[in-house]
Each structure stands twice: as C-alpha cells, then as structure tokens.
Amino acid sequence: MVSIIPIPAFADNYIWLLRDRANAVVVDPGDAAPVLDYLVREDLALTGVLATHHHNDHVGGIPALLERYAVPVFGPARESIPGRSRAIAAGDVVCLPGLPVTLTGIDIPGHTAGHIAFFGDVDGQPSLFCGDTLFAAGCGRLFEGTPGEMWKSLSTLADLPAATRVYCGHEYTLANLRFALAVEPDNATLRERARSEQAKRDRGEPTLPTSIGLELATNPFLRVSLPNVKAAVERHAGSSVADDVAVFAALREWKNRF
Ligand code: ZN
Ligand code: FE
C-alpha cells in the first residue's frame, strides 16, 4: 500500500511524499529540512526524488537530500535540475525506486519552458503531480511560456480521467476560488466548493488533492470555452475576444491584477 502525504514547506508549498512502510519518494522538495524530519520521524528511507520544474521552491532541497541519501533524481529534460540523474521527456516511464508505482512524464510548458508532470496509478488511483501548472481552481503564472502553450498544457491535463487525483505544488485554493467566483458568480458547484474548501482550511487541512472532474466543473482556466466565461472575460476586458486562447490569455491577465 502506497500513500501520498503532503509536507508543507515555506509559506504555501506542498512537497508530496509517496511512501510505503519502508521507502519514500518526494516530489518537488524545495526544502530538505521538513522532508528529513518526516523521514526520521517515520523511520523511512528516501529512495528517489521527482522534480516538475526548475524553480527553487521546488528543487532547492535536492542537494541536501542527496548528501544524506544517494538516490536517483528524475527531472524535466529541458531544464537544469540540481543532481538530476534521469532526464524525463513526454512519454518517458519512471518506475519509482523502492515503491510499486510507475509514472509517465507529460510535457506541460507555460509556467516554465520545460515544465513536466508525472501521471500514473498510485494504489489503483490515477494520480497527477503537476507542480505549478494546474492549481485547484487556478493555474500557474506564465513566466516562460505563451498563453497558447499554457492553454495546450492545461487542455492535456483536462483530458486525463475525471477521477484523477491532482497534487499541485501550492495551497492557493481559497484565493483562486475568490477569483473564480468573480468570473462565475452563478456557478452553484463553485459556490459549494468555496464553502467546503474554506471549511477544510478552517480545520487546518490541505484542500489538495483536487480532481480533474472537480476542476472541469469549477476552474475558470479549464472553462474558457463556455459562453458565460467568455462573456465575463469580455465584460471585464471591455472588448470582444477572438478564441479560446485569447479568452485564456485575458483571464490570466485579469487574475494577475485581481
Ligand atoms: Zn514555479
Ligand atoms: Fe512554486
């Protein structure tokens, strides 16, 4: 049995840790200290590291982890990742060292130019580790990519099975939901979600993982093809917007200033 544990880091990052009774693999360890604390407390051996993109809040802890554990590091082929031992491109298969889990790389450029995701079954549940690309009710900023690239990347993730559990890199959900409600004030599923996610935070729980199905119903960045989302974007922009990519671009701009 493999479980997936959130390790909070910095102000709002999650380092995801996959574990059985003996071994653990971490995703995006921006900081080594909370990972090492967990491994010691739970008497686990680190057997591998995955990285989705090169930002320091996702890879900054890798060198200190490698000092303690000589393990493989799987990271995006098109980015520089400290200690990377295997370059992962779209379609590459990663057998997690020490755990009965196999994940596949997906190319999702936009937040960074070489950003990847890892997707596969964990204990029979389709699971996605997507760094800073798809967030609960939101998406990452476009630091190195175009709106067209990000829209294509998000569309690729949106096509995964609806039941897919989505493990994002940050706890941004409540702020994202406030924006989502400004875009779609009449979306009943979204309003209900805002209540339930607020309740989780009030209890001190993560809002993650989310699911592809829930994101399709409530994440405005996956809903730019819908007439009501396009109309809200056009009202806000004060002009008509040509196609899905243009709606996405205007929505991302709106969120940047929200
Ligand atoms: Zn990032
Ligand atoms: Fe980040």
User: Which of 28, 55, 107, 115 is labelled catalytic?
Assistant: 55
Determine the distance separating the centroid of ligand 1 and the alpha carbon of 109, expressed in angstroms: 11
- The residue annotated as part of the active site, out of 28, 107, 111, 115, is 111
CA of 58 relative to ligand 1 center, distance in Å: 7
Instruction: Tell which phi-psi region holds residue 98, choosing left (phi > 0), alpha (psi between -120 and 50) or beta.
Output: left
**Ligand 2 center to 59 CA (angstroms):** 10
Calpha distance 186→195 (Å, rounded) = 14
Ligand minimally distant from the alpha carbon of residue 168: 2
Give distance in angstroms: CA of 258 to centre of ligand 2: 19
Active site residue 170: yes
**Rounded to the nearest whole angstrom, what is the distance from the C-alpha of residue 123 to the centroid of ligand 2?**
26
Write the CATH number of the domain with boundaries 3-256.
3.60.15.10
123 is catalytic: no
Q: Please state the pTM of the whole predicted model.
A: 0.98
Q: Is 53 a catalytic residue?
A: yes
- Reduce the DSSP state of residue 106 to 3 states and report it: strand
pLDDT in tens, the chain (258 residues): 999 999 999 999 999 999 999 999 999 999 999 999 999 999 999 999 999 999 999 999 999 999 999 999 999 999 999 999 999 999 999 999 999 999 999 999 999 999 999 999 999 999 999 999 999 999 999 999 999 999 999 999 999 999 999 999 999 999 999 999 999 999 999 999 999 999 999 999 999 999 999 999 999 999 999 999 999 999 999 999 999 999 999 999 999 999
Annotated catalytic residue within 28, 57, 107, 115? 57
Asked if 100 contacts 94 with a C-beta cutoff of 8 angstroms, the reply is no
**Rounded distance from Cα 188 to ligand 1 centre (Å):** 31
For residue 15, give the ligand nearest its CA. Answer: 2
| Closest-approaching ligand to the CA atom of 10 | 2
pLDDT computed for residue 75 by the predictor: 98
Residues in the chain: 258
Query: Which of the following is catalytic: 28, 31, 54, 58?
Result: 58
Q: Domain locations in the chain? A: 3-256
Known active-site residue 115:
no
Q: How many beta carbons lie within 10 A of that of residue 44, not counting itself?
A: 18
Give first-to-last CA distance, the chain, whole Å. 42
- For 85-123, the pLDDT digits (tens) are 999 999 999 999 999 999 999 999 999 999 999 999 999
Token digits of residue 179: 């924006």
Alpha-helical runs (H) found in 159-226: 173-183, 188-202, 212-218
CA of 172 to the centre of ligand 1 (A): 13
Q: Looking at the CA of 30, name the nearest ligand.
A: 2
AA letter at 4: I
From ligand 2's centre to the CA of 14, what distance in Å? 9
For residue 212, what are its two tokens? 């592809």
β-pairing, 138-139 vs 116-122, is unpaired
